[in-house]
Chains A and B, each alone.
Chain A
Amino acid sequence: EAQVTQNPRYLITVTGKKLTVTCSQNMNHEYMSWYRQDPGLGLRQIYYSMNVEVTDKGDVPEGYKVSRKEKRNFPLILESPSPNQTSLYFCASSGYPTYGYTFGSGTRLTVV
């Protein structure tokens, strides 16, 4: 089944403790993105990747890092999480630059 898999689905952590949210897709898509969703703010793009080793900042990249060492994986790294990063995070992939994204099931992160 074609899908984008994120882990974990839920995560509660403490301020400053480094964490990684994994994202993997099995569709051989070149384009991958991370979004965060907050009430009243819709979906905001954090980082974007056009291919292996090619990444670009989205609208809200501060406090986040990404890497794309393999085509299928695009992990999101929070090196020092803060409470304002409490949010619902989605990874998405597409075979096209800017449309037709397939989203993962989401990761609900709480930073206390």
Chain B
Amino acid sequence: GQQVMQIPQYQHVQEGEDFTTYCNSSTTLSNIQWYKQRPGGHPVFLIQLVKSGEVKKQKRLTFQFGEAKKNSSLHITATQTTDVGTYFCAGPAAGNKLTFGGGTRVLVKP
């Protein structure tokens, strides 16, 4: 079945630095979406990307969908302590299922 992999699993970032997390699917996706889960919280929908090569920005967050629609990335600039949490990508699979990646847990060093 479809697999969605995220790397890295953990990301330790110095406050103010940039970093990127990556998402790779074993199959072509009709869309890719990203969620953020704060420590002790629940996943919150951030954004959906649909088109090949699509780039969307939300303040310091830049999301990109690969040309082959099998991978995606999330780039955060000037990391802040409010960015702490786990970022999940997710893609639709057969039968209206939504498959989540394992997540990238972001820890920020002040």
Contacts and interface: CB of A to CB of B under 8 A. Distances in A.
**Are A and B genuine complex partners?**
yes
**Interface size bucket, B side?**
20 to 34
Contact of A99 (B41, B44, B92): B92
Contacts, number: 61
Given A97-B92, A98-B92, A99-B33, A45 B43 contact: no
**Interface size bucket, A side?**
20 to 34
Task: Provide the main secondary structure of the chain B interface.
Answer: strand
A48 to B, nearest CB: 6
Contact of A103 (B30, B31, B42, B99): B42
Interface in B84-110: 88, 90, 92, 95-103
A43 interface: yes
- The 5 nearest A-B residue pairs measured at CB: A98-B92, A43-B100, A42-B102, A103-B42, A99-B48
